[in-house]
Amino acid sequence: MSMYILNTLTILLVFGYNTSDAVECQDDWTTYGTSCYLFGHQSLSFYSAENYCRQHKGHLVHINGDAENTFIREHLRNMKGTGWWIGLTDDAVENTWIWYDTNEKTEYTDWAPNQPDNAGNNEDCVEFNMSSGYNGHWNDAPCHVNLLPICEQQFDNVDSGIVG
């Protein structure tokens, strides 16, 4: 076996192992499982927030299950903002909740009590709300209000439970 092949194998072993262990995220992004998260500092409408995430090569967060939802809640407890956009909307069909990145109906939800209520017949976008009234659960809100974006670069479905 030539030295070149041996070196290549060594590199694959060392770096291949590391990348399968955890995702390495860019500066300012937070790692969780096989995704990277960016917690924005500027309040934007839902659609502007999604554009902001796309400019950073991501989407508004797609929460795949309880583990990811808990990670986000714990992270937000240490942040200043109260309302944070996640990538869920019923703007196409009322009360049919679709993830913006995959266009799939959500299986997992974490609604605050009495939500979603489509208040004023005008609430089609979902926020993660850390105020005492919502206590870190989801609320449908008007898409035009300015809230903070949570962006995700997803490399695999952390909580999907679908293997192979």
In the complex, minimum distance from the CB of residue 55 to Ca ion, in angstroms, rounded to a whole number? 19
Instruction: Indicate the helix (H) or strand (E) that contains 53.
Output: helix 46-55
Among 104, 117, 144, 160, binds Ca ion (CB under 5 A): 117
Rounded to whole angstroms, how far apart are CA atoms 101 and 164?
21
Residue 110 touches Ca ion, criterion: CB under 5 A: no
Residue 123 touches Ca ion, criterion: CB under 5 A: yes
Residue 124 touches Ca ion, criterion: CB under 5 A: yes
**Of the ranges 19-27, 44-52, 125-133, 149-157, which one interacts with Ca ion (CB under 5 A)?**
149-157
Rounded to whole angstroms, how far apart are CA atoms 135 and 9?
50
Tokens of 133: 């009234």
In the complex, minimum distance from the CB of residue 88 to Ca ion, in angstroms, rounded to a whole number? 11
In the complex, minimum distance from the CB of residue 32 to Ca ion, in angstroms, rounded to a whole number? 9
Q: Considering beta carbons, is residue 8 or 160 the nearer one to Ca ion?
A: 160
Query: Taking Cα atoms as reference points, which of 86, 149, 94 lies closest to residue 116?
Result: 94
Among 29, 110, 140, 148, binds Ca ion (CB under 5 A): 140
Q: Are the CB atoms for 100 and 87 separated by under 8 Å?
A: yes
Residue 129 touches Ca ion, criterion: CB under 5 A: no
Sign of the C-alpha dihedral computed for residues 23, 28, 52 and 131 taken in this order:
positive
Instruction: Kindly identify the residues of this chain, within the stretch 29-48, that bind Ca ion according to CB under 5 A.
Output: none
Residue 114 CA to its chain's centroid (Å): 23
Rounded to the nearest 5 degrees, what angle is found at the Cα of 117, between the Cα atoms of 115 and 118? 135
Q: Considering beta carbons, is residue 15 or 144 the nearer one to Ca ion?
A: 144
Residue 118 touches Ca ion, criterion: CB under 5 A: yes
- Interface with Ca ion (CB under 5 A): 62, 64, 90, 115, 117-119, 123-124, 139-140, 154
